[in-house]
Structure 1
Amino acid sequence: MTDKLSFALNQITTPRLTCKEFIQLAKRLGCSGVELRNDLRDKRLCERAFFDGESPKDVGAYVRENGMRLLGLSEVYAFNRWSDEIREKVARLIGEAVASGAETISLIPSNDGRTESDDARLDALRNALSRILPMLAGTDLIALVEPLGFPTSSLRHKSEAIAAIKAVEGDARYKLVHDTFHHHLANEQEFFPKWTGIVHISGVVNPSVDVREMQDEHRILVTGDERLGNLAQIAALSAAGYTGAYSYECFAPSVHRSTALESEIAESVAFIRAGAS
Structure 2
Amino acid sequence: MSSIRFALNHMCAPSLRLESFFAAAKELGIDSVEIRNDLAGNAILDGTPAAAVKELAARHGLTIISINALQRFNEWNDERAREAAALIDYARDCGARALVLVPVNDGSGREPEARHANLRKALSALKPMLEAAGVIGLVEPLGFEICSLQLKSEAAAAIEELGARSTFLLVHDTFHHYLAGETAIFPELTGLVHISGVSDPDVSVGDMRDPHRLLVDARDRLDNVGQLRALLSAGYAGPVSFEPFAPAVHALKEPVTALKESMAYIAGRL
Into which bin does the TM-score normalised by the smaller protein fall?
over 0.9
Count of residue correspondences? 270
CA contact (8 A) 1:142 1:174 kept: yes
Matched, 1:25 2:19: no
CA distance in 2, matches of 1:54, 1:116: 36
Conservation of the 8 A alpha-carbon contact between 1:12 and 1:250: yes
Residue 64 of structure 1, CA deviation: 2.5
Code of the residue aligned with 2:119 in structure 1: it is L
Hey, what does 1:44 align to over in structure 2? none
Match of 1:265 in 2: 259
CA 1:12/1:135 → structure 2, altered by over 3 Å: closer, same or farther? same
- Say whether the 8 Å CA contact 1:64–1:70 is kept in structure 2: no
- Normalized against structure 1, the TM-score is what? 0.94
Q: How far has the Cα of 1:227 moved from its partner?
A: 0.4
Pick from 177, 181, 199: which aligns with 1:205?
Answer: 199
Counterpart CA distance in 1 for 2:262 and 2:68 is 24
- RMSD between aligned residues: 1.3
What amino acid sits opposite 1:102 in the alignment? A
Tell whether the 8 Å contact from 1:147 to 1:182 is kept in structure 2 after alignment.
Answer: yes
Distance 1:27 1:49, change over 3 A: closer
User: Which residue identity lines up with residue 170 of structure 1 in the other structure?
Assistant: A
Distance 2:207 2:263 in 1: 27
1:46-104 Cα distance to aligned partner (Å, 9 max, x none): x3351653221121222122222110111111110111010011000000011101100
Match of 1:137, SS state, is helix
Following the alignment from structure 2 to structure 1, what is the Cα–Cα distance between the partners of residues 32 and 96? 10
**1:186 aligns to what?**
180
For 1:36, the aligned partner's letter is: I
1:248 counterpart = 2:242: yes
Distance 2:87 2:152 in 1: 23
Please give the per-residue CA displacement for 1:105-143, whole angstroms capped at 9, x wherever unaligned: 011000011264201111111011001111123222110
Structure 1 alignment gaps of length 5 or more: 42-46
Matches of 1:59 and 1:240 in 2, distance apart? 34
Quick check: 74-83 or 111-120, which moved more? Answer: 111-120
Q: Residue in 1 aligned with 2:34?
A: 35
Question: Percent identity over the alignment?
Answer: 43
